[in-house]
Each structure stands twice: as C-alpha cells, then as structure tokens.
Structure 1
Amino acid sequence: MCFLFLGSIINAQIKTENSIELITEKKVFKAGEKIVLEFVTTPKKTMHLYCSNSYGTTIIPSEIKNNKLLFTLPAHFSSKRGVLNWKLINPKKIIKGEIKIIPKDIPVSIETYIGPPSIVAGEKDYTMFVVIPTDNLDNPLTENSAVTIQQQFLNQEKKEEIFTKNLIGFKNIYSPLKSGRILLSSVASNLNSKEFTVNIMPGIGTNFKIFSQRNHNYADGNQITTFSTSVIRDTHNNVISDGSFVDFYIKNKKGDVLKTSGKTINGVATAKILHPEFKEDWLVKAYIIGIAESDEIKLTYKQVIKDFTVAFSNNNRTLKVGPLQSFMNQMIPDGLKVTTSIFKDGKLVDSIVTKSVDGFVNFELDANIYPNEIYKIKVSTAGITKSFNSIKLW
C-alpha cells in the first residue's frame, strides 16, 4: 500500500516537472502588431518554436522571463495576413496550433488592373476591371470590403459598389453598342485609383456599296478610274476601324480577273486602276475577305483608236506605226502598247512590244535576226490588228 502511494507521488512529480502549457489566448492579430506566444513550463530551459506561413518557415528561440517561455514572431511574419502555423519543438510532448493575421482596416493604396485594353462594341465582348485595396504593409483588405467602380462613356456616368472576394474585387465591363472610350476608376475608403481607358472598337463590317469615278469612258490605257466604297459600318452602325482592307475584283469580257485594293479611312476605301487599252466591259465587285461584300457595278470603255497606218521602209525592215490618234483626234498619250508579231510558214517567229512616243512607234527588223525571207507581219494596238501577208525582207 505504501509502495502504491509512493509511486503515485513520483508520477505526479514527473508530470509536473515536464508540463508545458500555452497561456496566450489571443488567436487573431492585426498585421504589424507585435505577436508574442507565452508558455508556462516547469523545466527552465530554452526551447524553439517552428513557424510556417505562405511566405516561408522559420525557427524562433525562446526567452525565459518570470518562469515563462516567450516566443516573439519576427516582423516579416507578423506583417503578412493569413494563417500562421506553429509547433513547439519539445521531445516530450507535441504542442502545436495556429494564429490568424488579418489586414488593417484602412487601405493606403489601390492596385488596379484592366484587360484587355480594347474590346468590340456590341454588348458581348468585355474587359475585366480588378481592384486590390491594400494596407500599408501591402496586405489585401478583409473579405467583403467595399469598392466603388466609376465609369464614364460618352455623356453617361455611373457608379457601382462591389465587394472584395478571395483578396480581390473585380467587375466585368461589357462593351456598349457604340464605339468610343470608357474611362474607369475605383474608390476604396475615400482612396482613389488613377484613371484607366478601355477602347471600344467597331465590329466587323457589313455589306456596302461601291462607286466609280473617271474623267472619261475611253479605253486609252492612260487615264485612271477610281473606285470607292460607301461608308462601311458594323451591325450597330459604327464606322469600321481605319485600315480595314478592301479588295476590288474586276472581271473583263474574256473572263480574266484584275484586282486593286485599298484601306478604309473614316469607313471609306478607295482604289485606282488604269483604263484598258481597248474596248472593254468590266464587272466590278468589292470584298472585305470573309466578312462583307459590295453590290456589283458595270463599266464600259469605248474604243479610243479607230484606225492607224503602218508604213514600211528600208527594205521593209523599218515599220512606222501611227499617227495614233485618240477620241478628239489628239495624239494618244505616251505609253500605249503596240505589238508586232512575225510569222514564217504559219509559225510565230517573234513578238516585239514597244510603247508609243508622241503618237508613233518604230520597229527595226534586224537582218541578223530575221534573214532575207518572206514573212507574215501582224501589228496590234488598242484592240485593232492589221495583217500584212508576204512581206519580203531584203
């Protein structure tokens, strides 16, 4: 009986000598506040506290004061919001816990982000406005902190209050029907952010009309026809963005296709092309490839040269073509293409292409290239061809 009583005393004494107990009751601290964890302990010896949060880990040595173990958290741990886990390094007993560090109530800065910076008009595309109000230790404020989003577009201004969630406040800003610029800013506890701009771009173009302009309708191969579009708009009547590419396709009587292109300025695209050199009918249609197309217009070009003469000299080796006269009997502008084709025994020997100067064209048939023989010669210009059979070169 005495042995049992003595054993109980010894066990109680051992338990008392090794007891360690946390006496700090506070579990929530504000960022920047001094955090000291106090333990009451029987053994008067230094211990270590293992601390861990989302920024890292550290081991803190203790201080012994008034029969208490004191652990003071370093400033870089106590200044960051979140959950901090701790564990007392004690081989006899596992003692662990956690404390919560919350941000201060008043923000001193607002981190603001927006993107994308450009969206398409039409109430479908949107940009996201993200606001993060932070305290003086760069901690985001507590959940459900109020933030006011301010918007200005054309002659409209509006405000909307949102609340932070998961450290941030955010708002999807949908595009209006009209193009322009939206100005955005945010306010948290009377702290204002800087101004942000979102460009509202026009949508893709819709079908449009085309027009032509020319000084005359003669096929002189010299004047220029200018094509232009009507003002191209999107489905919400916004003028499409400058620089949109418009292709004008031209189909002639032979079925060949020509192309000229232009870019829009203030919604209108223009393109130029030379007149044909002979009587021609054109069907013209324009496209914004894969997006929109125009109506089709027809242009007719009249024959500008009705006839011309060809004079042979110098043993028929010199051909003088002209005068080449235009629709008012004036000399055709320089640069009209004239082609001379030489045939021998029904086969094409050569073709020579020269451009007119002062209404005339001269061809020289070199004896080193064209021996003394009888040839068939064709001269073509402005859609007119003249044939000369059995021309003897000597």
Structure 2
Amino acid sequence: MRNTILIFLGLVLLGCSEKKEEQPTEIYIPQTELISQVKNTIAGDAITFFFKTDAPNETYKLQIKNAYGSVLLKPNTNERENIEFNIPENFTRIAGPFHWKLVLKSEILEEGTHQIATNAQKATYVESYFGPRSITAGRNDFSMLTISPTDAYDNPLNNGTEITVKYQFLENIDELQITTDNFIAWYNVASTLKSGRILVTSECNGTTSKELATIVYPANAVNFSISASSAHTFADGNQIVTFVSDIIKDEYGNTVTNGTLVTFVIKNERNQYLYTVGTTINGVAEAKTLHPDQATTWEVQAFITGAAESNITTFKFKSAVKDYAVHFSKGNRNIDVGPFESFMKQLIPDGLLLQLDIYDANGEFIDTKKTTSKNGVSTIFLGEHFLEDGDYTLKLTAAGITKEFIINIHGETIK
C-alpha cells in the first residue's frame, strides 16, 4: 500500500513538471496585385485603383496622402477576385504627387505614387498684382507686375509657361514675353520721364488679366522764381501783399502735383522772420499776408521742403502814418493818442499797435502797456494803483514813430 501511494505521488509530480509548449500564431497575408497601371493623370480626371486579390472579403483600406492631408478609403464593392477604390474629387483636382498604400490589419500590402498634372487645357485663370500704384518720374523708380496663372482647379501652371505682358503710356504700347518660375512671373515697369498714367495687362493661354494702372507723379521740384505785388506800398497794416511763384516744375519739365506746399519766408530789416504758406494749383503757388504797420523792407524767399527754393525778392513799404498827436489829461494819468491818419488823410483801420514803455526818474524800466487803435485813436490810463505820483519818462511807439515825454503825475507835461 505504501509503495502504491509513492508511485501515485511520483506520477503527479512528473505531470506537473512538464510544460506545455506554446504554438506561434500564423498571420495570413493575402496575395494582391495592382491591376490599374496608370500613374499619371490630369487634374479633374477620375481616378480608380483596381487590385486583384485571392481574399476579396477581407477589410482592405486604401490610404492616400498629398500635401493637403490624408484619408483612409474603403473599397467600393466586394467582387469575387478584385477590389476597387475611387479617389475623391478633392484629391483628383490637386496637381502634384499623392502617395497611396493598400492596408490590411495594419499591414502594408502595396504602395506607390500617383502624379497629377495641371489642367491648363480646360481653362486658365490669371491672377495679377501691380504695385506700388504711384511712382515718380525718372528712371529710378518702378512698379512690379506679378502674375500667377492657374488652371481651372486653382493649380499653379508649370514652370516655363509663357505670359504676354502689355503696358501703355501716352501713345506707346509695348509688348513682351515672360515665363513662369516657381509658379509666378514678374516684370518691373519702369517709370517714365513724363508724368501720367501707365496701364498694364497680361495674357496666358488666351486668358487676359484685368487692367491695372500706376500713376507717374512728377519728381522733386527744381528751383523756381517768385514775385510780390500789392495795391500800394504804404505800410498801413491793412492792405494785402500777394506772393506768386512761376510755374514750378521738376527736372524733367513736369508741372509739380497740385497741392504741393510752398512756404514763403519773410525777413525784415531787424532780422525778424515771419512766414506764410500756399499750395500749388497748375504748378503756381500763391500766398498772402497783411502789410506791416511801419516802414520797412522785406526780403522774401520761398521753399519746398527738401526739394527746391526760389530767388530772393524784396518789397519796400513806405510809412503811411507821418505823425500823430498825444494829449495828457486827468493829472497826466490819461493819455489820448491820435487821430492816426493814413497816406490820404483817412483814418487808419482799427488794430494799429500802440506801445507805452514806462521808466522812473532814474531811467529804470518799470513796465510796458500795449493797446490798439479804434476809430483812429488809442487811449491808455495810468491808474493810482498802477503808478504813484512822481516823475516818469514815457516812450510811445506807434506806426514806427516813437515819442518820448517826461511827465509828473498830477503835474504839467514837460517836454
């Protein structure tokens, strides 16, 4: 009995020690063959892939990929021997290569590349760009015409495609041939010596682009001449003096653009400056300013900033007011000046400047008072809050005439 038990245990242990050998799983790969041998088509043509297979019921997939993305296609029908895939239109219309792979359960069975050419025969479209739209006269400036011809599906045409460029200026029409390179063609249209408008257009495979234009503006102005005129030469502070340029042109004889700013700078005998501005109309600039209120000589020169300048012209003004009266009252605190009479004994226009400089008895400057004329006269009042009683020197200046008085407030005027 004991021996029987030992034999039984030995058999059990022997059975447990034996390992069952694992058998490798075999992967079945069906036999496939590409039937359609067309590897090149034209954009827009239908594309179908046919494969012959010995296992048509398997779940085949066709992966296609181009520069725009990729997609995984299912077969159209399950035939007895063949499988068929139709390539979507959005892939067949894009020129260039696309890569395909026949896949079954992550295994690549077949792969290859299909090339799609542009379809210029169906239609050609011409996209053109032109700029800048304004240039200056001369031979140093230009506008660039850029053309991008495409087929009916917006595919750029092949390198070397011929394009005809035409451009017109005045009575001249020029024509030339250029070719595409890296999908575009371009040409620099040089500016002309005369100002005007240049029209350009392009043509490719019988399709013309829209008309584009650039405006040739005059170049920088060259030096010019000016003159001054007025109804009279009296310094009455009322009449207007007019400054006029001749016709301002550029170096090629083109009249400068309307609206060109011209600055007229005026210098008087005391090296004081003032200016007035005008803009050109048909090449002529005109500016106006009031006469001064005292005799002087003006030197006038005009400038176009950064471009040109005029000659220097002079304009002399004669004194319109020869003299004026001064009357003190109210203890010499009230000063009446005038009437101011102009060159025909008429009252001057309102607004003539009267300046009073006040000095104490020792000649120390105290203050200045200013006023303007009205109805031909001016009045200044020196109130008690402003000046205490005492001796003062007063200097009155109007119309370029200065008069000096030594007075005593509450006293008589002493000349």
Q: What amino acid is the match of 1:68?
A: N
In the TM superposition, residue 139 of structure 1 has moved relative to its aligned partner by 2.5
Q: For residues 80 and 249 of structure 2, what CA distance do their matches in structure 1 show?
A: 83
Aligned to 2:204: 188
Aligned to 2:393: 376
Which of 53, 60, 64 aligns to 2:73? It is 60
For residues 102-251 of structure 1, the aligned pairs below 5 Å read: 102-104=117-119, 105-251=121-267
Query: Between Structure 1 and Structure 2, whose CA radius of gyration is higher?
Result: 2
> Contact 2:136 / 2:218 at 8 angstroms: preserved in 1?
yes
SS at structure 2 position matched to 1:259: strand
Q: How big is each residue's C-alpha offset from its partner over 1:338-362, in whole Å with a ceiling of 9 and x where there is no partner?
A: 1122222323333222212232222
Q: How big is each residue's C-alpha offset from its partner over 1:172-218, in whole Å with a ceiling of 9 and x where there is no partner?
A: 22211111111222333333333222111111212222221222222
* 1:96 aligned onto 2:97: no
SS at structure 2 position matched to 1:29: strand
Q: How many residues align?
A: 381
Q: For residues 158 and 107 of structure 1, what CA distance do their matches in structure 2 show?
A: 26
Q: For residues 29 and 336 of structure 2, what CA distance do their matches in structure 1 show?
A: 129
> Contact 2:301 / 2:310 at 8 angstroms: preserved in 1?
yes
Q: For residues 274 and 94 of structure 1, what CA distance do their matches in structure 2 show?
A: 97
Q: 1:124 to 1:95 in 2, by over 3 A?
A: farther
Q: How big is each residue's C-alpha offset from its partner over 1:241-261, in whole Å with a ceiling of 9 and x where there is no partner?
A: 222222222222222222222
Aligned to 1:363: 380
* 1:24 aligned onto 2:36: yes
SS at structure 2 position matched to 1:138: coil
In the TM superposition, residue 386 of structure 1 has moved relative to its aligned partner by 0.4
User: If the length of structure 1 is used for normalisation, what is the TM-score?
Assistant: 0.88
> Contact 2:265 / 2:302 at 8 angstroms: preserved in 1?
yes
User: What RMSD in Å do the two structures reach over aligned CA positions?
Assistant: 2.5
* 1:83 aligned onto 2:97: yes
> Contact 1:322 / 1:361 at 8 angstroms: preserved in 2?
yes
Q: 1:36 to 1:359 in 2, by over 3 A?
A: same
> Contact 1:112 / 1:131 at 8 angstroms: preserved in 2?
yes
> Contact 1:182 / 1:199 at 8 angstroms: preserved in 2?
yes
Which of 280, 287, 291 aligns to 2:303? It is 287
Q: What amino acid is the match of 1:338?
A: L
> Contact 1:210 / 1:230 at 8 angstroms: preserved in 2?
yes
Q: 1:92 to 1:339 in 2, by over 3 A?
A: closer
Which of 368, 374, 377 aligns to 1:351? It is 368
> Contact 2:144 / 2:188 at 8 angstroms: preserved in 1?
yes
Which of 326, 329, 335 aligns to 1:310? It is 326
SS at structure 2 position matched to 1:226: strand
Q: For residues 290 and 266 of structure 1, what CA distance do their matches in structure 2 show?
A: 20
Q: For residues 324 and 391 of structure 1, what CA distance do their matches in structure 2 show?
A: 26
In the TM superposition, residue 108 of structure 1 has moved relative to its aligned partner by 4.9
> Contact 2:332 / 2:407 at 8 angstroms: preserved in 1?
no
Aligned to 1:41: 53
Structure 1: runs of 5 or more not aligned: 1-13
In the TM superposition, residue 75 of structure 1 has moved relative to its aligned partner by 0.6
Structure 2: runs of 5 or more not aligned: 1-25
In the TM superposition, residue 111 of structure 1 has moved relative to its aligned partner by 2.2
Q: For residues 80 and 341 of structure 2, what CA distance do their matches in structure 1 show?
A: 121
* 1:72 aligned onto 2:89: no
In the TM superposition, residue 128 of structure 1 has moved relative to its aligned partner by 1.9
Aligned to 2:409: 392
In the TM superposition, residue 40 of structure 1 has moved relative to its aligned partner by 3.1
Q: 1:92 to 1:379 in 2, by over 3 A?
A: closer
Q: For residues 253 and 99 of structure 2, what CA distance do their matches in structure 1 show?
A: 60
In the TM superposition, residue 389 of structure 1 has moved relative to its aligned partner by 0.9
In the TM superposition, residue 385 of structure 1 has moved relative to its aligned partner by 0.6
SS at structure 2 position matched to 1:76: helix
Q: For residues 211 and 381 of structure 1, what CA distance do their matches in structure 2 show?
A: 29
Q: How big is each residue's C-alpha offset from its partner over 1:249-289, in whole Å with a ceiling of 9 and x where there is no partner?
A: 22222222222222222222222222222221222222222
SS at structure 2 position matched to 1:239: coil
Aligned to 1:9: none
> Contact 2:294 / 2:320 at 8 angstroms: preserved in 1?
yes
